[in-house]
């Protein structure tokens, strides 16, 4: 067993992104750090300096932020890959698929990691003129069907994308975005607060949440990055005085915010990108609340509802129905013992199943199979 471990450490693995920040939660914090236990891991990332972080060798490449200009500079990424000369290359962005094909032609093992359903995502892109979205979506669907079947493996985050990509490449596995295992359950003091921390966007239905609490004795703890235009819109709502807006805060402050709350709000709107009412396991929001040991008020996506109903850790509602949201909040506020039990149930489920350790095992097993050519 010791000899086997040493053998694996001699193997070089290189993760490649042209879009994500160097310390990206999925790429660096989860996948690269997990793989560094068994391999010599490199990460090529845009516009960062060369250094070593947590045993991962970072290699920066200068790339424009403009999409068109960046597409003309991707050979810089390939040159950096050639310098590293890894055994396995693991790509994270659709624009890097041609680079992945070049690596495959050079005899390398190649993995493509699809973080989202790209054809469906294209249909939602507001920067693409509406008339071009469907043709571009169809083109990308054809393009990935031709290119991705050549790769050694595909990874993605949720069952519906696994099902679609498996038809292109049978070596498709799900490695989803459950949070890193960390005990955040101490010092829970449920008060008359509901909470949300993350990217503050209209798709998280904050307008409906504000409407739902206008006549309830509670406050909305809200933290995260928000555009000036959306902030102005929210702050004009008559329930805004009930909001405690904290802006961007540190991780430990987010934990404190959760522990003050009777419920974490995870009301993402229905859309085609998430299969309407299917939902996704790629979004971590409900699992963050489970990790913190607080009840969840979540969209009744099929995937989320299945988990929440099974473990009795929250309430699922139609995110467009203000009356349902109001009823769920009022129920938890008036049943604090049941709310605590829901939080405890979610915490047990997180520790048992919905944490990164389970996904790390799948990732390491995939790599072992690819190296052994199984």
What is the pLDDT, as a whole number, of residue 374? Answer: 61
- Residues forming beta bridges with residue 245, ordered by sequence position: 222
Q: How far apart are CA 80 and CA 205, in angstroms?
A: 42
What is the pLDDT, as a whole number, of residue 244? Answer: 97
Both 170 and 305 in one domain: the answer is no
- The model's pLDDT over 97-142, given as tens digits with 9 standing for 90+, comes to 999 999 999 999 999 999 999 999 999 888 899 999 999 999 999 9
What is the pLDDT, as a whole number, of residue 90? Answer: 98
Q: Per-residue pLDDT for 281 more than 50? A: yes
Which sign, positive or negative, has the C-alpha torsion 139, 142, 145, 147?
negative
Q: How far apart are CA 124 and CA 301, in angstroms?
A: 19
Q: Per-residue pLDDT for 158 more than 60? A: yes
Q: How far apart are CA 124 and CA 274, in angstroms?
A: 11
Both 166 and 60 in one domain: the answer is yes
Task: Map tokens 């979610």 to a residue.
Answer: 346
Q: What is the mean pLDDT of the chain?
A: 93
What is the pLDDT, as a whole number, of residue 190? Answer: 86
333 Cβ neighbours under 8 A, 6+ residues apart = 192, 216, 217, 218, 262, 339
**182 in any annotated domain:** no
Cβ proximity of 166 and 310 under 8 Å: no
**187 in any annotated domain:** no
Both 142 and 201 in one domain: the answer is no
**188 in any annotated domain:** no
Both 34 and 173 in one domain: the answer is yes
CATH number at residue 339: 3.40.50.2000
Q: Residue 334 — φ and ψ, nearest 5°? A: -95, -5
The pTM of the full predicted model, rounded to 2 decimals, is 0.91
Percentage of the residues of the chain whose pLDDT score is greater than 90: 89
- The model's pLDDT over 323-355, given as tens digits with 9 standing for 90+, comes to 999 999 999 999 999 999 999 999 999 999 999
Q: How far is CA 165 from CA 78, 171, 179, 295, in A?
A: 25, 9, 24, 34
Both 245 and 367 in one domain: the answer is no
Cβ proximity of 169 and 153 under 8 Å: yes
| Rg of the chain in Å (alpha carbons) | 22
**185 in any annotated domain:** no
- The model's pLDDT over 173-200, given as tens digits with 9 standing for 90+, comes to 999 999 999 877 667 788 899 999 999 9
For the chain, how long is the longest CA-to-CA vector? 66
Both 363 and 321 in one domain: the answer is no
Both 332 and 220 in one domain: the answer is yes
Confidence of residue 10 (pLDDT cuts 50, 70, 90): low
Give the mean model confidence (pLDDT) for residues 263-289. 91
Both 135 and 230 in one domain: the answer is no
Q: Which domain holds residue 234?
A: 193-352
What is the pLDDT, as a whole number, of residue 184? Answer: 72
3-class secondary structure per residue, the chain: CHHHHHHHHCCEEEEECCCCCCCCHHHHHHHHHHHCCCCEEEEEEECCCCEEECCEEEEEECCCCCHHHHHCCCHHHHHHHHHHCCCEEEECCHHHHHHHHHHHHCCCEEEEEECCCHHHHHCCCCCCCHHHHHHHHHHHHHHHHHHHHHCCEEEECCHHHHHHHHCCCCCEEECCCCCCCCCCCCCCCCCCEEEEECCECHHHCHHHHHHHHCCCCCEEEEECCECHHHHHHHHCCCCHHHEEEEECCCHHHHHHHHHCCCEEEECCCCEHHHCECCCCCCCCHHHHHHHHCCCEEEECCHHHHHHHHHHCCEEEECCCCHHHHHHHHHHHHHCHHHHHHHHHHHHHHHHHCCCHHHHHHHHHHHHHHHHCCC
Both 157 and 217 in one domain: the answer is no
**106 in any annotated domain:** yes
Please count the structural domains in the chain.
2
**265 in any annotated domain:** yes
Both 72 and 204 in one domain: the answer is no
- The model's pLDDT over 42-86, given as tens digits with 9 standing for 90+, comes to 999 999 999 999 999 999 999 999 988 999 999 999 999 999 999
**186 in any annotated domain:** no
**184 in any annotated domain:** no
Both 287 and 151 in one domain: the answer is no
Both 127 and 19 in one domain: the answer is yes
Give the mean model confidence (pLDDT) for residues 157-161. 95
Residue of 209, 253, 203, 255 whose CA lies nearest to 227: 203
Q: Per-residue pLDDT for 318 more than 50? A: yes
């Amino acid at each position: 067993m010791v000899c086997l471990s040493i053998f694996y450490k001699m193997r070089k693995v290189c993760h490649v992104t042209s879009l994500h920040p160097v310390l990206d939660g999925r790429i660096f914090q989860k996948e690269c750090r997990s793989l560094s236990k068994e391999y010599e891991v490199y990460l090529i990332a845009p516009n960062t300096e060369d250094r070593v972080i947590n045993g991962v060798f970072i290699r920066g490449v200068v790339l424009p932020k403009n999409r068109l200009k960046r597409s003309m500079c991707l050979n810089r990424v390939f040159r950096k890959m050639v310098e590293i000369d890894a055994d396995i290359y693991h790509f994270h962005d659709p624009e890097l698929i041609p680079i992945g094909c070049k690596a495959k032609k050079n005899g390398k093992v190649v993995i493509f990691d699809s973080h989202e359903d790209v054809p469906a995502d294209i249909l939602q892109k507001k920067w693409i003129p509406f008339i071009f979205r469907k043709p571009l979506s169809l083109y990308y669907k054809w393009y990935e069907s031709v290119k991705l079947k050549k790769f050694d493996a595909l990874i993605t985050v949720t069952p519906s994308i696994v099902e679609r990509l498996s038809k292109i490449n049978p070596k498709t596995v799900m490695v989803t975005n459950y949070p890193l295992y960390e005990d955040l359950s101490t010092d829970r003091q449920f008060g008359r607060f509901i909470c949300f921390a993350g990217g503050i966007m209209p798709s998280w239905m904050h307008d409906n949440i504000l409407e739902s609490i206008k006549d309830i004795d509670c406050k909305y703890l809200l933290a995260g990055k928000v555009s000036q235009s959306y902030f102005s819109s929210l702050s004009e709502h008559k329930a805004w005085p009930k909001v405690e807006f904290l802006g961007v805060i540190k991780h430990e402050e987010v934990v404190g915010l959760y522990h003050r709350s009777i419920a974490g709000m995870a009301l993402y709107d229905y859309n085609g990108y998430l299969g309407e009412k299917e939902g996704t396991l790629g979004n971590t929001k409900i699992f963050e609340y489970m990790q913190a040991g607080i009840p969840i008020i979540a969209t009744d996506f099929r995937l989320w509802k299945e988990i929440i109903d099974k473990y009795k850790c929250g309430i699922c509602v139609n995110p467009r129905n203000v009356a349902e949201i109001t009823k769920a909040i009022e129920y938890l506020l008036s049943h604090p013992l049941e709310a605590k039990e829901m939080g405890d149930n979610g915490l047990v489920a997180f520790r048992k199943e919905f944490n990164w350790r389970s996904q790390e095992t799948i990732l390491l097993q995939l790599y072992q199979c690819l190296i052994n050519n199984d």
